[in-house]
Amino acid sequence: MSLILSRRDLNFLLYEWLDVAALARVPRYADHSRETFDAALDTCERIATELFAPHNKASDQNEPALVPGPDGETVRMIPEVGAALRAFCEAGLMAAGQDYDYGGMQLPVVVEKAAFAYFKAANVGTSSYPFLTIGNANLLLAHGTPAQIDTFVRPELEGRYFGTMCLSEPQAGSSLSDIVTRAEPDGDSPLGARYRLRGNKMWISAGEHELSENIVHLVLAKIPGPDGKLIPGVKGISLFIVPKYLVNEDGTRGEHNDVALAGLNHKMGYRGTTNCLLNFGEGTTYRPEGRGGAIGYLVGEPHKGLACMFHMMNEARIGVGLGAVALGYTGYLHALDYARVRPQGRPVGAGGKDPSTPQVRLVEHADVRRMLLAQKSYVEGGLALNLYCAKLVDEERAAKAEGEDATSLSLLLDILTPIAKSWPSQWCLEANSLAIQVHGGYGYTREYNVEQFYRDNRLNPIHEGTHGIQGLDLLGRKVVMRDGAAFRLLGERVRATVQRAVGSGDATLAEQARALGAAAQRLASVTTTLWSAGSPEVTLANASIYLEAFGHVVVAWIWLEQALVAHAALSSGVADADFYRGKLAAAAYFYRFELPKTAPQLDLLASLDRTTLDMQDAWF
């Protein structure tokens, strides 16, 4: 059994539930079939197993280190990282979802994400480099000029350049309105309006390395107004391409840009990914024409940088959720494998009191089964949710290509994005915690992989916006946008699933459907109550609780969807009945143990509780 991901579960989600093979009827994917999708999955599973997983612990134990380089300090890392990434790029995976015109495979997004999950599960540190590069390239394909695409995106998709996103600053963190990096106009160029940037960026993953010919930084900065002052708030933010090395007009690498590595951050997880403090325009490296400032090229319109950046941020948010799922999933598989082979303890009852009674395997204890079922419900539910979101992207793209209205698909993706990011980051992390618990004392030793999985996954509740930020986004923006249109659309899909389950003829599915329907109705009622409070401060005070309850209702819906497919398969007399029984058991667990948790949360929200608002600083 693979301990990275379950291919059987992927097949179930892709082909039995989401019917991904039917995407071959879409003109963009007409050259594909289940055979080509399986070939992509096979390739990713093989490379992840043979080249990414073997150095996961080594890259964790041998963090990137500062060393002298030809243009200042650079980073040294173990050679296995570069070897794995070369294999990834040589297989064409950097461009797996891109157009043929860019050397891509034109894989559906849902297949691309399912395939990439293997790398996240096998080695989240090494997989961060292509993860960021693909997101960087997608943003520039959407908002860059043809010259910018030719100069920077094509080498990224070939694997010659890697990319980053540079948002946070030491004094600002997640508060992007407070960034102070400046971008001074410096004339025009074949790559668009040129600027010189000065400032500091913090927490830049993959910000410095020697793994590629160049690093394409996407940098948020502010263009000063006529008075020389920065425009306050997010309206003044613009987006710039700032390459580590300038690129000559013939495409060859030019001189080192004025971008300097100021230090490395040492995090509890993702240790194989360089995480940097970068100085732009400090004059420590390159001073073209005797002037300081890192050369940057404007992406899109001035002062519209945050809107452009959200293209990569939203993609990264769903990607972080998928990464959280992958780490939780591999932890679950390691825990399950351990529980099946580790003898410990004796059965409850008379036989258990006799020392001569043989020990039983951990998996035979009810409490261990509870922990394994919890993990299974979290990781299989989270994976299904993320692949559902990826399928929405494919459906949206297909609708637009046919000239159809894709508004409903866009709205559904918008409202599900904070859930797809935060719910797995919370509950698949809990799966990792339970995996350690299943291992007992061995679980928190470095000799066992589950210890590292937990540390790696603990970063995901913070990556790309904390739970608090996602909660504010969900309750403060997404449920009320367009007068609640996205919320209504999601409710319609949930009700359709409830009706199918009630009409299935199965008493358990009908019971679960009624529980889901009641929870969804209560969520809608509480949402109305919150927005009737008359005070945004009160409405949003407990947005994180709202996010958690909302997420549990969504995942309960996803589990009912899976249960319907599993029930139909069992009714048809399938060969691998145990797989489908496992799906139904995990759904039952979620409905008996997890969905009921939302009732007291919704009660608290409906009360418009002011505990946190009324708490005074001096009282702590």
* Residue numbers annotated as active site: 464
Pairing relationship of beta strands 214-222 and 161-166 according to DSSP bridges: parallel
The 8-class DSSP code of residue 355 comes to: T
Looking at residue 590, its amino acid is F
Rounded CA gap, 190 and 185, in Å? 15
| Ramachandran bin of 145, using left for φ above 0, alpha for ψ from -120 to 50, beta for the remaining angles | beta
| Ramachandran bin of 205, using left for φ above 0, alpha for ψ from -120 to 50, beta for the remaining angles | beta
Rounded CA gap, 266 and 75, in Å? 13
Q: Cβ distance 4 to 122 under 8 Å?
A: yes
Q: Cβ distance 77 to 274 under 8 Å?
A: yes
Looking at residue 291, its amino acid is R
DSSP string, 6-19: -HHHHHIIIIIIS-
Q: Cβ distance 333 to 7 under 8 Å?
A: no
Residue 194, phi then psi, degrees to nearest 5 = -100, 140
How many distinct helices (H) and strands (E) make up the chain?
Answer: 20, 12
Pairing relationship of beta strands 245-247 and 214-222 according to DSSP bridges: unpaired
Residue 419, phi then psi, degrees to nearest 5 = -70, -45
Rounded CA gap, 349 and 335, in Å? 26
